[in-house]
Chain A
C-alpha cells in the first residue's frame, strides 16, 4: 500500500503544502480514514451504518447521520487532547441512543474522533508531542516536532470554494515543511484542492467521477511510538475540452466525467474522439512564460555546453529565463532529432509520420516516447547500455556530454528496411533516455530520479487505459526510485525537482493528449510502455550513480578513520618508547646516586683513618656526614 502510493505522494505533497498555509489549524486523522469529507458521505459510512441509509425510519436519514457525525467530530475537536465520551455526546443529540452509539463507535474506530487519545493516558498525553514528517522530510532529514494545537480550536465545516491550482504555487511550496496538529481532516489540509469536488459532469450532470485520486501518505509517530501512515487523496479532475480549441475559444470548456467520455455519449455533435484528456494541473504550463524561442534554446544549449551543470551561470547567459526554466527546457529538448530525420528519412515518412503526430518538426516541445516490446522493459539495465551507445551519436552533434564509446553505431546502420520501424522505436526510446541520461550525468541523480518519477506520475494517471506493460515498468521503477530517494541529500535541489516535474509532466501529458486521436490504441500503450522503460532506465542510471557516490563516500570515510587510527597507534608507540627511555635514565641516575654516596663514605672513612683533624675542613666533613645520614 505504501509503496504504491509513494510516488504520487511525492509529486503532490509539494503542491499541497504551500508555505503560506502554515498558519492554518490542522488535525490529523489516521491513514485509513482519508476518505472522510465534511461535504459528503462516503461509501464506507453507508456500508457501516446501513440503518441511516435504508430509509427505514424518519429518524434515520443521511442528513441526520451527517448532522450527528459533524456534531460529534466538532465536539471532539473543541479539545482534541481530551477523550470524548459517548455520554457527553448523547445529551446534545436527539435520537435513539443505540444508533447514536453506533455512529460514535464508528467514528472512534476510524479515528475521526479520539484519535491519538489513548484511553490509558487520557489526561497525561495532552502535553506530549507528536512527531510528524512527510515523505519529503523523511528523505531530507528535516524533522519537525509539533506540539498539539491550543485547546478550543474548532474546525467548522463549510463549502470550499473552488479555485485552480496554478503551477506557480508549486514553486513556493517546495521548501515548506508542513505542520500537522493531531487531528486533521482531509478538507482541512487540502481544502484548496477540494475545489474540484464540486465539479459536475457537463454531460450527465453527475458529480464528476473521473476524478483520479492521488493518494499520498504522511507518516505520523504517535506518543506510543507506533508508526502510522496517513493517507490523503488529491483529486485531479480530468477536464475534457474540445479538441480544436482555437475554434471554440468563445465556448467554455466543459468538464466531463470519464464515464461519459468512454461511452461516447458526449453529445450529438461531438464524437468521443474530439475530446482529449487534460490534467487540469498542467493547464498553466503551456502558457507564455514557458515558451522558448529558437534563439533562446540555442543560447541555452550553448551556455550549457560552456558551463556544464552550473545552472546559475547558464541562466545568467540565457537571461530571459530563470534557472528552473533552463533545466526544464533542457530535459524537454528532443536531442538527436535531426540525425534521426536523416537516418530514417524514408521509412518515417512512409510508415509513421502520418500516424504519429509526435514525429517530425512540430514536436520540439515533447519528449519523444515510442513503443517498445514489453520484454525490454524488464531488461532495462542491459538495454540502457545499448541505447546509450546509440545515443552517443546524437550526443556528439550537440556536444552535450563527453563522448563515450560508440558501441552500437553499427547496429543503427545495419537496420534493414523491415527492421526500420523497430529501429526507429529504439531510437525514440533513446531520446527519452538521452534526456534522462543527460540529467543523470550533467545534473545529479536525484533530479533525474525526480524527473523520471514525475513522468511516471503522469503515466499513472492514464492507468485506466489498462496497460500492463507500464504497470510492470512502474513496479520496477518504484523500487529504483525509492532507493534513489534514499540518497537524496540536497534540500536545496528540491526546487529544481519540482520544475522538472512540471516540465516532464507537461511533456508527457502532451503526448498523452495526442493519443485519443490515434486510430491504434495499442500503439498508445506501447508509447507509454516505452516512456516507462526510458524513465525506468534513467532512474536505474541515477540509482547507480547514487550508489557509486555512496560507496565512494563510505570508502573515503573508512580511509579517514583508518588514518586517524594509524596516527593514534604511532603516538601510543612513541609514548611507550619515551617511557622506556625515562625508565632507563631513572635507573642510571639511581646508580650514579649510589656511587656518589659510596664515594662520600669512602672519603669519610679515609678521613677517620688518617685521624687528621684539620679544623679548617671540619665544616666540609660535617657537611659530608650530614648529607650521608
Chain B
C-alpha cells in the first residue's frame, strides 16, 4: 500500500511539473505577451518597456525557471491589472469556486447514485427510461444556456433565488444545480451499469440464497461494490467542474476563480491566467491521486496488496 501511494505520488508530482511547463509554453507561444499587455495603441517603445519590466526579454527557459521557483513558494508574481499579488487574488476567489464545486458535486452524487440504483433495479421499466432520458438531456444541455434558463425561471419569473452574485448561500443554489447537472449523467450511468453488473454476479445470488431482505442485498451487497468506480469518477468530475466553472461563474456573476481567470484572459493579465491554469491542474492531479488511494481503500483486493 505504501509503495503504491509513493509511486502514485511521484507520478502525480511529475505530471504537475509537466503541466506547468506545457501551460507556460502554450501561453508564451500563442502570441507576443508584451504586445498583448501593452494594448493595440501602444508604441514600439512602450512595448519594449513592458517587455523589460515583466522580464519577457529573458530567454524562455530562464523565464520558466524563475516562474516555477516562485510558484513552488506559492508566489505567482503580480497581476498586471490589479497591481496586487496573484496569490492574494486567488486566495480570495478560490473558496468560492471550491464551495461551488463541492455543492455541485454533492448534489450530483445525491441525485446520480440513488437514480442509478433505482434505474438498475427497475431495468427496462419506465423509471429506468426516465432516468436515462434525464441523463441524456443533461449531457446534451449547454451549461451556459441551462444557467440562463435557470435564471429566467427561478430568479426572474418565480423570484425564488437570486440571479447572480455571491453574498449569501442562496446565490450558490442555481450555479450548483447548473454545474451539478453537468456532472450528474456520467455518474448516474456508471452507477447504473455497475449495479446491473453486480446484481447479476454470483455473490449477489449467494446473498439472496441466504434469505436476506432485498434491501440488504441491494444496499449492503450490491451498492458497495457498484459504487467503487463512481468514487473515482466523482473525484475526476470535481476536477473537471473546477475547470468548467469559468462558464457557470460568468453566467451567474459568481466571483470565483473561474471568473477571475476569464476576466484576466480578457485583460491579457497572464500571470493570473497562468496561475489559475496551474492551480486547477494541480487540483485535478491531487483529486485523481486521492481517488486512486480511496479506491484502494474501498476495495479490499487492492488494499492488501
Asked if A and B bind, the verdict is no
Residues of A within 8 A of B (CB): none
Residues of B within 8 A of A (CB): none
